[in-house]
Amino acid sequence: MRELTVALPGRESSYRVRLAWGLRHRLAAELEPLSLPRRLFVVTDQTVARLHADQVLAGLKAGGYDPHLLTVPPGEKSKSWRQVTALTRELLARGADRTTALMALGGGVVGDLTGLVASLFMRGLPLIQVPTTLLAMVDASIGGKTAINLPEAKNLLGTFHQPRLVAIDPEFLQTLPPRERRNGLAEILKAGFIREAELLKRVENLGPRLFQDRESLAEVIFRAAAIKAGIVAADEREGDVRRLLNFGHTLGHALEAASRYRLPHGQAVAHGMIAALCLSRRLTGLSAGACEAGVRLIRNLGLARRPPGVPPEAVLAALGHDKKRQAGELVFVLLRDLGAAEIVRGVPLELVAEVVPR
Protein backbone atom coordinates (compact mmCIF):
# COMPACT_ATOMS: atom_id res chain seq x y z
CA MET A 1 0.00 0.00 0.00
CA ARG A 2 1.23 3.45 -0.92
CA GLU A 3 -0.26 6.38 0.90
CA LEU A 4 0.06 10.12 1.11
CA THR A 5 -1.85 12.83 2.90
CA VAL A 6 -3.15 15.96 1.25
CA ALA A 7 -2.67 18.39 4.12
CA LEU A 8 -4.95 21.37 3.63
CA PRO A 9 -4.49 24.66 5.38
CA GLY A 10 -7.47 26.40 6.95
CA ARG A 11 -10.83 24.93 7.69
CA GLU A 12 -10.98 22.01 5.33
CA SER A 13 -9.77 18.72 6.67
CA SER A 14 -6.93 16.77 5.19
CA TYR A 15 -7.50 13.55 3.31
CA ARG A 16 -5.53 10.57 2.18
CA VAL A 17 -4.65 9.26 -1.25
CA ARG A 18 -4.21 5.49 -1.05
CA LEU A 19 -2.91 3.34 -3.89
CA ALA A 20 -2.73 -0.43 -4.14
CA TRP A 21 -3.19 -3.08 -6.75
CA GLY A 22 -6.65 -4.66 -6.29
CA LEU A 23 -7.87 -1.89 -3.99
CA ARG A 24 -11.25 -1.83 -5.77
CA HIS A 25 -12.18 -5.09 -4.03
CA ARG A 26 -11.35 -3.65 -0.62
CA LEU A 27 -13.03 -0.26 -0.67
CA ALA A 28 -15.21 -1.13 2.34
CA ALA A 29 -12.14 -1.41 4.54
CA GLU A 30 -10.86 1.88 3.11
CA LEU A 31 -14.09 3.63 4.11
CA GLU A 32 -14.13 2.26 7.64
CA PRO A 33 -11.95 4.97 9.29
CA LEU A 34 -14.16 7.68 7.76
CA SER A 35 -17.28 6.61 9.73
CA LEU A 36 -19.61 7.20 6.81
CA PRO A 37 -23.20 5.95 6.74
CA ARG A 38 -23.63 2.45 5.31
CA ARG A 39 -25.89 3.68 2.54
CA LEU A 40 -23.72 4.89 -0.29
CA PHE A 41 -24.36 6.10 -3.82
CA VAL A 42 -21.80 5.10 -6.44
CA VAL A 43 -21.88 7.36 -9.51
CA THR A 44 -20.26 6.06 -12.68
CA ASP A 45 -20.64 6.11 -16.46
CA GLN A 46 -22.12 3.29 -18.54
CA THR A 47 -18.76 2.10 -19.85
CA VAL A 48 -17.15 1.86 -16.42
CA ALA A 49 -20.37 0.37 -15.02
CA ARG A 50 -20.24 -2.45 -17.56
CA LEU A 51 -16.58 -3.20 -16.91
CA HIS A 52 -16.11 -2.62 -13.20
CA ALA A 53 -19.27 -1.83 -11.21
CA ASP A 54 -20.09 -5.44 -10.24
CA GLN A 55 -16.77 -5.99 -8.52
CA VAL A 56 -16.83 -2.65 -6.74
CA LEU A 57 -20.40 -3.11 -5.50
CA ALA A 58 -19.73 -6.71 -4.44
CA GLY A 59 -16.73 -5.60 -2.37
CA LEU A 60 -18.72 -2.85 -0.69
CA LYS A 61 -21.59 -5.22 0.10
CA ALA A 62 -19.29 -7.87 1.49
CA GLY A 63 -17.83 -5.19 3.76
CA GLY A 64 -21.23 -4.30 5.21
CA TYR A 65 -22.18 -1.34 3.02
CA ASP A 66 -25.41 -0.77 1.12
CA PRO A 67 -24.25 0.66 -2.23
CA HIS A 68 -26.58 1.99 -4.95
CA LEU A 69 -25.45 2.58 -8.50
CA LEU A 70 -26.22 5.70 -10.54
CA THR A 71 -24.99 5.87 -14.13
CA VAL A 72 -24.57 8.66 -16.65
CA PRO A 73 -23.65 8.35 -20.33
CA PRO A 74 -19.88 8.26 -20.95
CA GLY A 75 -18.15 11.34 -22.30
CA GLU A 76 -17.69 15.04 -21.78
CA LYS A 77 -21.36 15.76 -22.61
CA SER A 78 -22.31 14.42 -19.20
CA LYS A 79 -20.58 17.38 -17.55
CA SER A 80 -23.84 19.28 -17.92
CA TRP A 81 -26.35 21.10 -15.83
CA ARG A 82 -28.89 18.56 -17.06
CA GLN A 83 -26.95 15.70 -15.46
CA VAL A 84 -26.55 17.66 -12.22
CA THR A 85 -30.33 17.99 -12.03
CA ALA A 86 -30.96 14.40 -13.12
CA LEU A 87 -28.54 12.98 -10.53
CA THR A 88 -29.92 15.21 -7.78
CA ARG A 89 -33.48 14.12 -8.48
CA GLU A 90 -32.46 10.48 -8.72
CA LEU A 91 -30.73 10.77 -5.36
CA LEU A 92 -33.85 12.28 -3.83
CA ALA A 93 -36.07 9.62 -5.37
CA ARG A 94 -33.88 6.93 -3.86
CA GLY A 95 -34.00 8.48 -0.43
CA ALA A 96 -30.65 10.23 -0.15
CA ASP A 97 -30.38 12.76 2.66
CA ARG A 98 -27.69 14.98 4.13
CA THR A 99 -25.88 12.02 5.66
CA THR A 100 -25.51 10.14 2.37
CA ALA A 101 -22.03 9.73 0.88
CA LEU A 102 -21.23 9.77 -2.84
CA MET A 103 -18.52 7.73 -4.52
CA ALA A 104 -17.26 8.85 -7.94
CA LEU A 105 -16.20 5.72 -9.84
CA GLY A 106 -14.77 6.77 -13.21
CA GLY A 107 -12.62 9.21 -15.11
CA GLY A 108 -12.40 12.96 -14.85
CA VAL A 109 -15.90 13.42 -16.23
CA VAL A 110 -17.54 11.35 -13.52
CA GLY A 111 -15.28 12.85 -10.88
CA ASP A 112 -15.99 16.47 -11.83
CA LEU A 113 -19.73 15.89 -12.14
CA THR A 114 -20.12 13.81 -8.98
CA GLY A 115 -17.96 16.29 -7.11
CA LEU A 116 -20.22 19.14 -8.12
CA VAL A 117 -23.35 17.26 -7.09
CA ALA A 118 -21.69 16.31 -3.81
CA SER A 119 -20.85 19.94 -3.09
CA LEU A 120 -24.37 21.16 -3.86
CA PHE A 121 -26.73 18.46 -2.60
CA MET A 122 -28.20 19.76 0.67
CA ARG A 123 -25.13 22.03 0.84
CA GLY A 124 -22.62 19.24 0.75
CA LEU A 125 -22.21 15.48 0.98
CA PRO A 126 -19.03 13.53 1.74
CA LEU A 127 -17.28 12.46 -1.48
CA ILE A 128 -14.99 9.52 -2.21
CA GLN A 129 -12.97 9.55 -5.42
CA VAL A 130 -12.24 6.20 -7.07
CA PRO A 131 -10.53 7.18 -10.35
CA THR A 132 -10.52 4.65 -13.20
CA THR A 133 -8.56 6.57 -15.88
CA LEU A 134 -4.87 7.37 -15.69
CA LEU A 135 -5.68 11.06 -16.04
CA ALA A 136 -8.07 10.98 -13.10
CA MET A 137 -5.61 8.98 -10.97
CA VAL A 138 -2.75 11.43 -11.34
CA ASP A 139 -4.64 14.66 -11.78
CA ALA A 140 -8.41 15.16 -11.72
CA SER A 141 -9.31 13.17 -8.59
CA ILE A 142 -6.90 15.12 -6.38
CA GLY A 143 -7.36 18.76 -5.43
CA GLY A 144 -11.10 19.16 -5.00
CA LYS A 145 -12.00 20.88 -8.26
CA THR A 146 -15.47 20.11 -9.56
CA ALA A 147 -17.08 21.40 -12.75
CA ILE A 148 -19.56 21.15 -15.56
CA ASN A 149 -19.39 22.71 -19.03
CA LEU A 150 -21.60 25.32 -20.66
CA PRO A 151 -21.86 25.94 -24.41
CA GLU A 152 -19.72 29.06 -23.88
CA ALA A 153 -16.78 27.31 -22.21
CA LYS A 154 -15.56 24.18 -20.50
CA ASN A 155 -15.51 23.93 -16.71
CA LEU A 156 -17.34 27.23 -16.39
CA LEU A 157 -19.50 26.26 -13.42
CA GLY A 158 -17.70 24.59 -10.57
CA THR A 159 -16.80 24.52 -6.93
CA PHE A 160 -14.02 23.37 -4.65
CA HIS A 161 -15.15 20.31 -2.74
CA GLN A 162 -12.36 18.19 -1.32
CA PRO A 163 -12.89 14.42 -1.24
CA ARG A 164 -12.65 12.50 2.03
CA LEU A 165 -10.51 9.87 0.34
CA VAL A 166 -8.94 9.11 -3.04
CA ALA A 167 -8.60 5.34 -3.58
CA ILE A 168 -6.45 4.37 -6.57
CA ASP A 169 -6.36 0.86 -8.05
CA PRO A 170 -4.02 0.77 -11.08
CA GLU A 171 -5.67 -2.45 -12.18
CA PHE A 172 -8.58 -0.42 -13.57
CA LEU A 173 -6.15 0.68 -16.29
CA GLN A 174 -6.00 -2.77 -17.84
CA THR A 175 -9.26 -2.03 -19.64
CA LEU A 176 -8.38 1.58 -20.52
CA PRO A 177 -7.98 2.21 -24.29
CA PRO A 178 -4.56 3.48 -25.54
CA ARG A 179 -5.92 6.90 -26.41
CA GLU A 180 -7.08 7.41 -22.82
CA ARG A 181 -3.77 6.07 -21.51
CA ARG A 182 -1.95 8.73 -23.51
CA ASN A 183 -4.13 11.46 -22.00
CA GLY A 184 -2.91 10.39 -18.59
CA LEU A 185 0.71 10.04 -19.71
CA ALA A 186 0.69 13.69 -20.78
CA GLU A 187 -0.27 14.72 -17.23
CA ILE A 188 2.40 12.46 -15.73
CA LEU A 189 5.03 14.12 -17.93
CA LYS A 190 3.64 17.51 -16.93
CA ALA A 191 4.14 16.65 -13.26
CA GLY A 192 7.71 15.56 -13.99
CA PHE A 193 8.53 18.62 -16.07
CA ILE A 194 7.44 21.06 -13.37
CA ARG A 195 8.67 19.26 -10.26
CA GLU A 196 10.65 16.05 -10.69
CA ALA A 197 13.17 15.30 -13.41
CA GLU A 198 13.61 11.86 -11.93
CA LEU A 199 10.02 10.94 -12.77
CA LEU A 200 10.78 11.83 -16.40
CA LYS A 201 13.82 9.55 -16.32
CA ARG A 202 11.80 6.74 -14.87
CA VAL A 203 9.09 7.04 -17.53
CA GLU A 204 11.72 7.26 -20.25
CA ASN A 205 13.54 4.16 -19.07
CA LEU A 206 10.33 2.16 -18.86
CA GLY A 207 9.04 3.21 -22.26
CA PRO A 208 6.33 0.90 -23.55
CA ARG A 209 6.89 -1.50 -20.63
CA LEU A 210 5.21 0.97 -18.24
CA PHE A 211 1.79 -0.66 -18.44
CA GLN A 212 3.14 -4.18 -18.18
CA ASP A 213 5.22 -3.73 -15.07
CA ARG A 214 2.83 -3.50 -12.10
CA GLU A 215 5.33 -2.22 -9.60
CA SER A 216 6.67 0.51 -11.89
CA LEU A 217 3.20 1.57 -12.95
CA ALA A 218 2.11 1.89 -9.33
CA GLU A 219 5.23 3.89 -8.50
CA VAL A 220 4.89 6.25 -11.48
CA ILE A 221 1.21 6.93 -10.71
CA PHE A 222 2.04 7.46 -7.08
CA ARG A 223 4.89 9.90 -7.82
CA ALA A 224 2.71 11.95 -10.17
CA ALA A 225 -0.20 11.93 -7.69
CA ALA A 226 2.19 13.03 -4.95
CA ILE A 227 3.37 15.98 -7.03
CA LYS A 228 -0.22 17.05 -7.63
CA ALA A 229 -1.07 16.56 -3.95
CA GLY A 230 1.96 18.56 -2.85
CA ILE A 231 1.02 21.45 -5.09
CA VAL A 232 -2.64 21.62 -4.10
CA ALA A 233 -1.73 21.33 -0.42
CA ALA A 234 0.67 24.25 -0.75
CA ASP A 235 -1.92 26.27 -2.56
CA GLU A 236 -5.44 24.99 -2.35
CA ARG A 237 -7.08 27.51 -4.67
CA GLU A 238 -5.54 29.24 -7.68
CA GLY A 239 -2.40 31.06 -6.62
CA ASP A 240 0.94 30.92 -8.37
CA VAL A 241 1.97 27.52 -7.06
CA ARG A 242 -1.20 25.82 -8.27
CA ARG A 243 -0.77 27.58 -11.62
CA LEU A 244 2.35 25.50 -12.24
CA LEU A 245 -0.06 22.66 -13.02
CA ASN A 246 -0.94 24.61 -16.16
CA PHE A 247 2.36 23.69 -17.82
CA GLY A 248 1.52 22.92 -21.45
CA HIS A 249 -2.08 23.91 -20.84
CA THR A 250 -2.04 27.58 -21.88
CA LEU A 251 -1.51 26.60 -25.48
CA GLY A 252 -3.08 23.17 -24.91
CA HIS A 253 -6.46 24.66 -24.04
CA ALA A 254 -6.26 27.02 -27.02
CA LEU A 255 -5.53 24.05 -29.31
CA GLU A 256 -8.43 22.08 -27.89
CA ALA A 257 -10.82 24.98 -28.29
CA ALA A 258 -9.59 25.79 -31.81
CA SER A 259 -10.07 22.12 -32.79
CA ARG A 260 -13.60 22.28 -31.35
CA TYR A 261 -12.48 19.66 -28.87
CA ARG A 262 -11.69 17.08 -31.52
CA LEU A 263 -8.06 16.98 -30.41
CA PRO A 264 -7.73 14.76 -27.31
CA HIS A 265 -6.66 16.61 -24.17
CA GLY A 266 -3.39 14.69 -23.86
CA GLN A 267 -2.36 15.42 -27.45
CA ALA A 268 -3.22 19.10 -27.07
CA VAL A 269 -1.25 19.33 -23.83
CA ALA A 270 1.67 17.47 -25.42
CA HIS A 271 1.85 20.04 -28.24
CA GLY A 272 1.48 22.75 -25.61
CA MET A 273 4.38 21.31 -23.59
CA ILE A 274 6.64 21.21 -26.65
CA ALA A 275 5.80 24.85 -27.38
CA ALA A 276 6.47 25.73 -23.73
CA LEU A 277 9.84 23.96 -23.91
CA CYS A 278 10.74 26.08 -26.96
CA LEU A 279 9.63 29.26 -25.18
CA SER A 280 11.69 28.22 -22.18
CA ARG A 281 14.78 28.12 -24.39
CA ARG A 282 14.16 31.77 -25.26
CA LEU A 283 12.85 33.16 -21.98
CA THR A 284 13.98 31.13 -19.00
CA GLY A 285 17.34 29.76 -20.08
CA LEU A 286 16.41 26.10 -20.60
CA SER A 287 19.40 24.38 -22.21
CA ALA A 288 19.19 22.98 -25.72
CA GLY A 289 19.96 19.50 -24.40
CA ALA A 290 17.17 19.57 -21.82
CA CYS A 291 14.72 20.90 -24.39
CA GLU A 292 15.56 18.16 -26.88
CA ALA A 293 15.36 15.48 -24.20
CA GLY A 294 11.92 16.75 -23.20
CA VAL A 295 10.59 16.77 -26.75
CA ARG A 296 11.98 13.27 -27.39
CA LEU A 297 10.33 11.93 -24.26
CA ILE A 298 6.93 13.34 -25.25
CA ARG A 299 7.16 11.91 -28.77
CA ASN A 300 8.43 8.51 -27.63
CA LEU A 301 5.25 8.05 -25.62
CA GLY A 302 3.14 8.47 -28.76
CA LEU A 303 2.24 12.09 -28.04
CA ALA A 304 2.40 15.03 -30.48
CA ARG A 305 3.68 12.78 -33.25
CA ARG A 306 1.45 14.43 -35.82
CA PRO A 307 0.62 18.09 -36.40
CA PRO A 308 -2.52 19.04 -34.50
CA GLY A 309 -4.38 19.86 -37.72
CA VAL A 310 -5.56 23.22 -36.44
CA PRO A 311 -4.76 26.51 -38.22
CA PRO A 312 -2.24 28.49 -36.13
CA GLU A 313 -4.34 31.65 -36.56
CA ALA A 314 -7.28 29.92 -34.88
CA VAL A 315 -5.03 28.84 -32.00
CA LEU A 316 -3.70 32.37 -31.52
CA ALA A 317 -7.24 33.73 -31.63
CA ALA A 318 -8.29 31.25 -28.94
CA LEU A 319 -5.27 32.31 -26.87
CA GLY A 320 -6.43 35.92 -27.27
CA HIS A 321 -9.75 35.03 -25.63
CA ASP A 322 -7.90 33.49 -22.74
CA LYS A 323 -5.72 36.58 -22.54
CA LYS A 324 -8.72 38.83 -21.91
CA ARG A 325 -9.60 36.80 -18.88
CA GLN A 326 -6.12 37.21 -17.45
CA ALA A 327 -6.06 41.02 -17.44
CA GLY A 328 -4.47 41.46 -20.85
CA GLU A 329 -1.39 39.33 -20.26
CA LEU A 330 -0.34 36.00 -21.67
CA VAL A 331 0.82 33.87 -18.78
CA PHE A 332 2.97 30.80 -19.40
CA VAL A 333 4.50 28.19 -17.15
CA LEU A 334 8.09 27.82 -18.35
CA LEU A 335 11.08 25.77 -17.28
CA ARG A 336 14.52 26.81 -16.11
CA ASP A 337 15.45 23.15 -16.17
CA LEU A 338 13.67 19.80 -16.30
CA GLY A 339 11.84 19.66 -12.96
CA ALA A 340 12.07 23.40 -12.24
CA ALA A 341 9.21 25.62 -13.38
CA GLU A 342 8.21 29.23 -13.00
CA ILE A 343 5.35 31.50 -13.99
CA VAL A 344 6.18 34.01 -16.70
CA ARG A 345 3.79 36.89 -17.29
CA GLY A 346 3.53 39.13 -20.31
CA VAL A 347 4.84 36.69 -22.91
CA PRO A 348 4.55 38.54 -26.26
CA LEU A 349 2.03 37.04 -28.66
CA GLU A 350 4.59 37.35 -31.49
CA LEU A 351 6.91 35.02 -29.64
CA VAL A 352 4.10 32.53 -29.06
CA ALA A 353 3.23 32.69 -32.76
CA GLU A 354 6.71 31.34 -33.53
CA VAL A 355 6.21 28.21 -31.42
CA VAL A 356 2.58 27.37 -32.22
CA PRO A 357 2.59 23.84 -33.71
CA ARG A 358 1.80 23.66 -37.38
C-alpha–C-alpha distance, residues 135 and 137, integer Å: 5
Which of 246, 256, 271, 323 is an active site residue?
246
User: Per CB under 6 A, which region of 135-143, 147-155, 250-258, 310-318 contacts ligand ADP?
Assistant: 135-143
Residue whose C-alpha is closest to residue 38's, from 1, 17, 64, 9: 64
Which of 26, 145, 190, 243 is an active site residue?
145
Question: Dihedrals φ, ψ of 128, to 5°?
Answer: -115, 130
Residue 11 is a catalytic residue: no
Residue whose C-alpha is closest to residue 154's, from 142, 140, 143, 167: 140
Which one of residues 100, 132, 250, 284 is an interface residue with ligand ADP (CB under 6 A)? 132
User: Per CB under 6 A, which region of 42-50, 234-242, 269-277, 341-349 contacts ligand ADP?
Assistant: 42-50
Binding residues among 138-157 for ligand ADP as defined by CB under 6 A: 140
Instruction: Report the relative pairing of strands 127-131 and 15-19 from DSSP bridges.
Output: unpaired
Question: Shortest Cβ distance from residue 205 to ligand ADP (Å)?
Answer: 25
Which one of residues 47, 55, 88, 216 is an interface residue with ligand ADP (CB under 6 A)? 47
Taking the least distance from each CB to ligand ADP, the nearer of 31 and 135 is 135
Interface with ligand ADP includes 51 (CB under 6 A)?
A: yes
Interface with ligand ADP includes 176 (CB under 6 A)?
A: yes
Binding mask 246-285 for ligand ADP (x = CB under 6 A): ----------------------------------------
Residue 246 is a catalytic residue: yes
User: Per CB under 6 A, which region of 105-113, 207-215, 218-226, 289-297 contacts ligand ADP?
Assistant: 105-113
Residue whose C-alpha is closest to residue 113's, from 153, 137, 86: 86
Residue 68 is a catalytic residue: no
Interface with ligand ADP includes 115 (CB under 6 A)?
A: no
Which one of residues 40, 42, 45, 297 is an interface residue with ligand ADP (CB under 6 A)? 45
Give catalytic residue positions.
123, 145, 187, 228, 238, 242, 246, 249, 253, 265
Question: Where does this chain bind ligand ADP (CB under 6 A)?
Answer: 45, 47-48, 51, 74-75, 106-110, 132-133, 135-136, 140, 172, 175-176, 180, 183
